[in-house]
Amino acid sequence: MSIKTIIPIIMAIMVIAGAVAMWSDTLKINATIKTGEVKVKFSDWMCSDKGSDPQAEGFHNEEGKDVASCNVNVEASDGEGNPIKLNVTLNNTYPGYSVDVTFIVDNIGTIPVKLYNYKLIDPSGVNGSTLLVTLSVPKDTQIDSGGNSTYTLHITVLQNAAESSTYTFEVDLTFAQWNEV
C-alpha cells in the first residue's frame, strides 16, 4: 500500500475516533402541574323582616304589625361542612308582604370565580302571578380567592296568593372560573 492510500484511511480512522470520543451533556425538565379549585359557599344570610312586617309598594303597615315571619336555615352542606344550600321559609304571609333575603357568597377555592348563571326553578309557575321573585346581583360578580360578594333575593306575595296555600321555588346560582364567564 502506498502512502497516498494509507493517509486517507488514517484520516478516516481519526475522524471516527473523534466522533466516538465526543463529550456530551443532557438537560432535562421535570414538570408538575397542580390545578386550582372552584369552590364557593354561603357564609352569612339574613332576612329583612326583623320586626314589623315589611310591605311592598302600595301596601301599608302603619300599625307596625308583626304577623308574618321569615326564617333562613342551612338545608345542605358539602362534605366539608360548608353551607351550599339555604332554605327560606316565609310563614303566615299575605298579599303585600315583601322581604329581602340577603346572603353572602364566599370564594373558598384557589382561583377567582364569577357568577356564570342563575335561574329560578318554578315548577308551579307562581313567579309573576302569585309571587314576585327577583335576584339582585352585584355589577361585577368576580370573587377573588378569599373574597366574597353579597346577593339579595326579593320576594313579594302578590294579590293573587290564595289563603292557606304553600308555594315553592328554587334559585340556582352557578359559579365558574373567572376567565370563562
In this prediction, residues 47-68 reach a mean pLDDT of 96
Residue 101 reports pLDDT greater than 90:
yes
pLDDT on residue 8: 72
Distance CA 31, CA 44 (A): 40
Could you tell me if residue 81 is left (phi over 0), alpha (psi between -120 and 50 degrees) or otherwise beta? left
Residue type, 75: E
Q: Is residue 29 part of a domain?
A: no
- 61, burial (CB in 10 Å: exposed 0-12, middle 13-18, buried 19+): middle
In this prediction, residues 94-105 reach a mean pLDDT of 98
Name the CA dihedral angle for 74, 78, 81, 86, rounded to a multiple of 10 degrees: -10
Residue with cell 334559585: 171
Residue 20 reports pLDDT greater than 80:
no
Q: Is residue 107 part of a domain?
A: yes
Q: How many structural domains does the chain have?
A: 1
pLDDT on residue 1: 67
- 101's CB contacts (< 8 A; 6+ apart) are 45, 46, 47, 48, 70, 72, 88, 152, 153, 155
Residue with cell 342551612: 74
Partnered with residue 173 across adjacent β-strands are: 118
- Specify the pTM: 0.83
Q: Is residue 26 part of a domain?
A: no
Q: Is residue 156 part of a domain?
A: yes
Q: Is residue 140 part of a domain?
A: yes
Higher pLDDT, residue 5 or 147:
147
Residue 69 reports pLDDT greater than 80:
yes
Q: Which domain holds residue 46?
A: 40-180
In this prediction, residues 98-118 reach a mean pLDDT of 98
Could you tell me if residue 5 is left (phi over 0), alpha (psi between -120 and 50 degrees) or otherwise beta? alpha
Mean model confidence pLDDT for the chain = 93
φ, ψ for residue 15 (rounded to 5)? -65, -45
pLDDT on residue 97: 98
Q: Is residue 123 part of a domain?
A: yes
Q: Is residue 109 part of a domain?
A: yes
The CATH number covering residue 114 comes to 2.60.40
Partnered with residue 91 across adjacent β-strands are: 69
Residue 83 reports pLDDT greater than 80:
yes
Q: Is residue 18 part of a domain?
A: no
